Structures are given as structure tokens and as C-alpha cells.
């Protein structure tokens, strides 16, 4: 085995660091030259970083959410005894300088590392330009620029007083001032958007961040100064990590699937009595038996009777039409309010579990989730979900699908309520259920059958035995 490090390159404009947004590969995964391995955010943009090495990923030197300085190790790759680019060992973190032409990729593009731009094959390699005879030159960056194959690009090396050197795409004749202004300001895209929304000129702000980077606080301070306000009642919370993932999933869900929700009220008095009797059995010792166990068992039984509700929509690919993937197993997702936000781990093959095993699985899943110790595998592959919003005192709500699943069942608060029981008005323990489903897959009739089946089993738990 031979191990080589790939260091974070300068991703453009001499920026000093980048934040790891997410990894695209796991330790142990095989990787190839120019395969994207991480998505990072600089003060300029969100970009993917491709690997100049081929082999097996041995180590990731930072986690998602951490900031890595340019030149610091990003990954270590087991190259199997062969380097992928020769000169890479002597110039860590740069593109291997082997001769490459337009035929290096099937579509005729020249493979390059993000931030370095296409090579000018008529001149010297930019990655090997160094300080000579008083001239300053370092690896440059063409950031956010795509070049058609029939368009020539001129790369020039220009001395700059604030950094050792920068390399730029030659200016368009009619836009010299605009390009200069973009280069002068160091601010991340969210900060630029905030400045636009508040009407603040970034050129008038002196950044207090590293290397003069302008932060949100700088923009807000400028806004207050301009308006004469000494304080503000608004504070901004960065959308990162789990919260960003939740936001992306919910937007995908809301805009990709037509969603319908149906509701039903259920007398669960008998179910709670059965819960008390079951909790006293020795098989359930050490496990907290909650109404969620009966909800889960009822939903799993309903899925067995109506398998189409346990499916997902697959968009057309190429000439292939759209398809509905009907799952013959049930990976039951349980929405949990964890320390870092809402997560939906699932119980694999939950439909094959008996009541005792299901109770233990639910207990272990919720304990692990609330401790923040879930593995990525536990969050993947769910086929249908339950969300218990009743624990927060909410009677009921309209749940949103957990993509790509076709259905989600919500349980509301369980309360004593007036109810007509056996022809008489009585106080009974009542809960409300809401089933949201993808109307491309599940029509109103099927949704109603699933929901009424669950309601019947919660009204009388012995029905579970009859329908299983």
C-alpha cells in the first residue's frame, strides 16, 4: 500500500479556507481521478472538490461543518503503490501536471481541479509558475467560469500587493470596473444576499473576519449605523447541518409530490388498557411500553393489507417511463426530536417483528436518536413513517411526506373527551390520526382504507390479531 495526501487547494481569488458542507465519499470507498469527493463553501460559492488521486479513501481529515485552511490535508488516499499524477507528490494539493488534451475525457473536456481552470496548453503550466527574477507567480484560479470548447481563454499572471500573486481570466474590455469590485470584496454568498436585502454596499464595509472577510455581523452593524439604530431585535441563525438537510428534504417533498391528508378521531380507551396489561409482562421488562407501539403495529398490519401505501415514486430516466416502486419490506421510520433537529431513523424490516421485538426496537431507536448517536445507515432507506406530535400537546397536524416515501402517519395528543360510547355519552380517551399520502400513488379510497384499518385496530386491539 502507498498513501498520499491531497491538501485543500486554493479554490479561487486567494481565499484562505473553506467549510466542509458534506462529504461525497466515505472512508473505504474507491475513488478515481477527478471524482468529486467533497462539497465545500468558500467566501465565494459552493463548489465540489474533485480528487487528483485514484485509489481507496483511507482518511478524511475534517468533518462536515469544519473549516479547513488552504494547504491543510483534506484526505489521505491509498493509491496502491502508484501515484496518479507524478508531480503531485512534490506539489501537494495541486493538479497533477501530466500532459492532458481534449481527448482526456469522453466529451472532450480537459479534466481540471476545481479552482484551477483549464490549462493553456500553448504556454507553461500555471501550477509550476514560481517566483523568478523578481516576478511573482503562483497557481491561479478561474473561479465559477465555464469555457466553451470553441472559445479561447487567456490566462495572465499579475502581481498584487496584498497577496503573493493571483491569476485571473483576462478582463472583458467593457467590464474592467465590475470585475475589480467583485475581486475586492470577500464575503460568502449568504452575506452578499443579506447585504442586498438590507441595501448595504459591501464596498463600504471593512471586514472584521479572517483576511478581511465580511461577516453577517459586519453587514448588520453597517445597516444599524446607516439607519441610526443602536440595536436590533432580529438575530440570524445559520442554516447548516441537520437543519439545512431538513429544509432541503421538505422543499423537495412539498414541490415534487401532490400531497393529501385525511383525518380520523379514535377512541383508544381499550388500547391504553391493553398497554397497561402488556407493560406488566416479564417479556417487556426494561422497555417503556407506549401507545406508539400499538400505532406502529397497527400501521404495519395495514401496510400488509394495502402494500401500495408502502411505496415510492420513481421519475422517468431516459426513455424509461415513470414507475412506482412497491416495497415488499417495511423499513418503519420514526420521527424523533433529537438535539440537532428532527431526524427520522428507521427500523429495518419492521413488518417481520413480533410485538416484543418491535417494542425493543422502538425503545433502542429513540434512545439512540436522542443521544445523538445515530449512524448514517439508520437514516437511510425508510419506506413509511410515523410522527408522534401528540407528545408536544398538539391535538393533530398535517404531516409532510418524508421523501421519497408515499405516506406518513401522525398521532395527535391522547386526551379524555366526551364521546358517544354504546349509545351513551361518556368520557373516553380519544386520539386523532392524520395520514398524508402522495396522491400520484395513493388515491383517496386507498388512503381512507389504510387510515380506517389503523383506527379499527386502535379502537379494539384484538382486531390486530384478526387482520394480521
Residues annotated as part of the active site? 439
DSSP letters spanning 224-279:
HHHHT-S--S-------HHHHHHHHHHHHHHHHS-EEEEEEEEE-HHHHHHHHHHH
Residue appearing with cell numbers 470596473: 177
CA 153/CA 169 separation, integer angstroms = 7
- What is the torsion angle, in degrees rounded to the nearest 10, for the CA atoms of residue 212, residue 216, residue 218 and residue 219? 120
- Phi and psi at residue 305, to the nearest 5°: -80, -25
* 425 neighbors 460 (Cβ within 8 angstroms): no
Helix (H), strand (E) at residue 157: strand 155-158
Which residues touch 245 (CB under 8 Å, ≥6 apart)? none
What per-residue string of b and e applies to 161-173 under the rule 16 or more CB within 10 Å gives b? eeeebbbbbeeee
Q: How many residues appear in the chain? A: 468
Residue appearing with cell numbers 491531497: 6
* 331 neighbors 347 (Cβ within 8 angstroms): yes
Enter the C-alpha cell of residue 251.
422543499
- What is the torsion angle, in degrees rounded to the nearest 10, for the CA atoms of residue 240, residue 246, residue 248 and residue 254? -150
In order of 43, 45, 158, 204, 213, the CA distances from 220 in angstroms are 17, 21, 34, 13, 14
Among candidate residues 171, 174, 41, 33, the one with its CA nearest the CA of residue 96: 33
DSSP state of 132: B
Amino acid at each position: 500500500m502507498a498513501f498520499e495526501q491531497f491538501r485543500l487547494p486554493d479554490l479561487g481569488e486567494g481565499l484562505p479556507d473553506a467549510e466542509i458542507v458534506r462529504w461525497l465519499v466515505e472512508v473505504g470507498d474507491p475513488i478515481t481521478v477527478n471524482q468529486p469527493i467533497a462539497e465545500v463553501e468558500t467566501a465565494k460559492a459552493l463548489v465540489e472538490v474533485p480528487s487528483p488521486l485514484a485509489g481507496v479513501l483511507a482518511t478524511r481529515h475534517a468533518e462536515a461543518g469544519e473549516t479547513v485552511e488552504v494547504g491543510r490535508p483534506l484526505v489521505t488516499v491509498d493509491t496502491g503503490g502508484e501515484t496518479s499524477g507524478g508531480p503531485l507528490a512534490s506539489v501537494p494539493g495541486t493538479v497533477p501536471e501530466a500532459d492532458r488534451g481534449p481527448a482526456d475525457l469522453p466529451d472532450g473536456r480537459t479534466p481540471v481541479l476545481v479552482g484551477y481552470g483549464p490549462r493553456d496548453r500553448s504556454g507553461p503550466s500555471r501550477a509550476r509558475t514560481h517566483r523568478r527574477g523578481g516576478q511573482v507567480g503562483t497557481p491561479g484560479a478561474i473561479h465559477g467560469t465555464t469555457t466553451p470548447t470553441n472559445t479561447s481563454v487567456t490566462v495572465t499572471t499579475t502581481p498584487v500587493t496584498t497577496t503573493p500573486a493571483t491569476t485571473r481570466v483576462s478582463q472583458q474590455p467593457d467590464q474592467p470596473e465590475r470585475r475589480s469590485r467583485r475581486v475586492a470584496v470577500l464575503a460568502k454568498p449568504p452575506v452578499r444576499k443579506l447585504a442586498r436585502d438590507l441595501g448595504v454596499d459591501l464596498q463600504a464595509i471593512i471586514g472584521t473576519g479572517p483576511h478581511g472577510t465580511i461577516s453577517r455581523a459586519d453587514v448588520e452593524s453597517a445597516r444599524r449605523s446607516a439607519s441610526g439604530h443602536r440595536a436590533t431585535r432580529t438575530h440570524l441563525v445559520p442554516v447548516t447541518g441537520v437543519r439545512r438537510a431538513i429544509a432541503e428534504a421538505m422543499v423537495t417533498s412539498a414541490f415534487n409530490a401532490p400531497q393529501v391528508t385525511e383525518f380520523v378521531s379514535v377512541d383508544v380507551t381499550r388500547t391504553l388498557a391493553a398497554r397497561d396489561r402488556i407493560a406488566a409482562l416479564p417479556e417487556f421488562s426494561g422497555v417503556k411500553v407506549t401507545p406508539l407501539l400499538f400505532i406502529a403495529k397497527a400501521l404495519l398490519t395495514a401496510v400488509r393489507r394495502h402494500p401500495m401505501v408502502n411505496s415510492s415514486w420513481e421519475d422517468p430516466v431516459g426513455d424509461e417511463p415513470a414507475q412506482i416502486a412497491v416495497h415488499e419490506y417495511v423499513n418503519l421510520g420514526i420521527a424523533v426530536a433529537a438535539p440537532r433537529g428532527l431526524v427520522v431513523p428507521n427500523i429495518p424490516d419492521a413488518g417481520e417483528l413480533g410485538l416484543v421485538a418491535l417494542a425493543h426496537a422502538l425503545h433502542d431507536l429513540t434512545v439512540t436518536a436522542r443521544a445523538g448517536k445515530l449512524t448514517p445507515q439508520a437514516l437511510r432507506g425508510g419506506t413509511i413513517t410515523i410522527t408522534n406530535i401528540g407528545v408536544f400537546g398538539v391535538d393533530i397536524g398535517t404531516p409532510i411526506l418524508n421523501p421519497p416515501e408515499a405516506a406518513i402517519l401522525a398521532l395527535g395528543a391522547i386526551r379524555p373527551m366526551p364521546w358517544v360510547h354504546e349509545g351513551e355519552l361518556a368520557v373516553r380517551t380519544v386520539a386523532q390520526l392524520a395520514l398524508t399520502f402522495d396522491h400520484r400513488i395513493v388515491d383517496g379510497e386507498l388512503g381512507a382504507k389504510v387510515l380506517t384499518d389503523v383506527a379499527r385496530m386502535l379502537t379494539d386491539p384484538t382486531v390486530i390479531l384478526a387482520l394480521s
